[in-house]
Amino acid sequence: MKPQYIGAIENGRARCTEKFAAEMDELLGARGELISLWHDLAMDSVFPAWFDWVAVEGDAIVLSSYSLSVVHGLLQVPSYAEAILHGDKDAVTARMSRQAIFTRSDPPPPDASFLLDAQTLVRPVGNPDVMIEQLDHLAARIEEGMQIQIISSDGTHLGNTHSFTIATLEDMQQVAYVETVARGFTMAEPADLVAFGRALRQVQGLALPVAQSLDEIRRKAQTWKQARSSSGGSRAVRPLPEASA
């Protein structure tokens, strides 16, 4: 049993499994008391809506995400994040620090896949320089082996309500996360996870292959460069024509 997992249980960042309870029961000579407590307290428990998503994200072994309107925070460059967060330096620093999960060695980085609606490539955030930097970063991450795929802009699929992320933890517990204007919500009720899983599968079915997604990102980066040239600088410009992934 990994120390990180034990620490996550102790701190309430992961749910105790029956296997873990049984192992601890035997190790501590509790004669079935811990297993009994697990059945009484933990078996049917779920993560509350206010549960800290950053803690879940950090403990995840798998992250599956769909972004509807802007690039996912784990993929953002500082200039893009600063534009979205209205120059809040502390918030930008906190967002950038979350990306350390991809460079850590113990535990290993999560197996992550990102689905980006095609509109994220053409919706202006900041100025053209920001968009060029962001799209070049996405291309570089794909070239490094990260799974990033573009989804055709389509008003009929189940992902059109919200962006969402599904985290799978070491004990295979899943937690979903959505963010609203007021706050973010974590969800682990079985019915909610079924709904998110259905939406994820439908969106995945519309995704371009990674190689074609890379081509699409590069094309849109080039279009932003042309828009910058035609505008005579890096000031904000109108949105690009709708992406046709």
Whether residue 175 is found in the same domain as residue 98:
yes
Whether residue 12 is found in the same domain as residue 1:
yes
Whether residue 60 is found in the same domain as residue 165:
yes
Q: How high is the pLDDT of residue 245?
A: 42
CA atoms of 99 and 204, how far apart (whole Å): 23
Whether residue 10 is found in the same domain as residue 69:
no
Whether residue 18 is found in the same domain as residue 106:
no
Whether residue 168 is found in the same domain as residue 196:
yes
Q: How high is the pLDDT of residue 189?
A: 86
pLDDT tens over the chain, length 245 residues? 566 666 766 666 566 666 777 888 888 888 888 778 766 655 455 555 545 788 889 989 999 999 999 999 999 999 999 999 999 999 999 999 999 999 999 889 999 999 999 999 999 999 999 999 999 999 999 999 999 999 987 667 777 778 999 999 988 889 999 987 767 888 888 899 999 999 999 999 999 999 999 999 999 999 999 998 887 765 655 656 654 44
Whether residue 26 is found in the same domain as residue 94:
no
180: tokens are 């609203």
Structurally, the chain folds into a number of domains equal to: 2
Decide if 159 is inside a domain: yes
Q: How high is the pLDDT of residue 17?
A: 67
Whether residue 23 is found in the same domain as residue 37:
yes
Residue 169's domain spans which residues? Answer: 46-231
pTM: 0.77
Residue 14 near residue 58, CB atoms below 8 Å: no
User: Which value, in Å, is the radius of gyration of the alpha carbons in the chain?
Assistant: 21
Decide if 245 is inside a domain: no
Decide if 241 is inside a domain: no
CA atoms of 154 and 70, how far apart (whole Å): 16
Cis peptide before 107 (omega within 30 of 0): yes
Q: How high is the pLDDT of residue 239?
A: 59
Whether residue 30 is found in the same domain as residue 81:
no
Q: Tell me the CATH number at 96.
A: 3.30.870
